[in-house]
Amino acid sequence: MLERRLLSAALVTAIVTDTSMPCGLAHAPQGGGWSGQPNLDASNFVAYSVVTPQTATLASGPMADPQADRLLPYAISCFGVSPEQTEWMADKARVAVEGLKKTKVVLGDATYTIQQVRTDVVGGLTRVDATEPAYWGQVDVLTLWITR
């Protein structure tokens, strides 16, 4: 049985390892965003990303193993204090996930190969005015094609 949480954890680990920046699973990570009160001299914004599993469609594969292949989409949300930092974080996160192509992952009782990492959406910048000063976000969608 496919244990997707293990693949999700592998994405988070790849992003943290390759970018040296915080990444959370479906929520903002510890150490990301503002440290201290925004807009004060001692405050600092740490760029971060969030991996969110999206709905996967039907599996495919040969007649003998019809669930051998899966397409698993993920939203990768990236945040920075400026448009430039946000795009930098998004670029680095995409490269980290794309680096998983052709690697093997154990997802429960089966080993899968990540055959392809497809970038379906490179998101636009969105200004987040929840703090002063504002910060920026970008949401990309990547789909991982895995096979047993």
What is the domain-level CATH number for residue 119?
3.30.2000.30
Q: Give the domain range for residue 114.
A: 4-147
pLDDT of 59 > 90? The answer is no
User: What is the pLDDT, as a whole number, of residue 63?
Assistant: 79
Domain count, the chain: 1
Q: How far apart are CA 25 and CA 75, in angstroms?
A: 10
pLDDT of 38 > 80? The answer is yes
Q: How far apart are CA 58 and CA 30, in angstroms?
A: 34
Radius of gyration (Cα) for the chain, nearest Å? 17
Could you tell me what percent of the chain has a pLDDT over 70?
99
Report which listed range, 37-41, 67-71, 117-121, is most confident: 117-121
3 state DSSP class of 5: helix
> pTM of the prediction?
0.91
For residue 69, give Cα distances in angstroms to 10, 52, 72, 90, 142.
18, 21, 10, 27, 16
The rounded mean pLDDT for the chain is: 93
Q: How far apart are CA 101 and CA 22, in angstroms?
A: 22
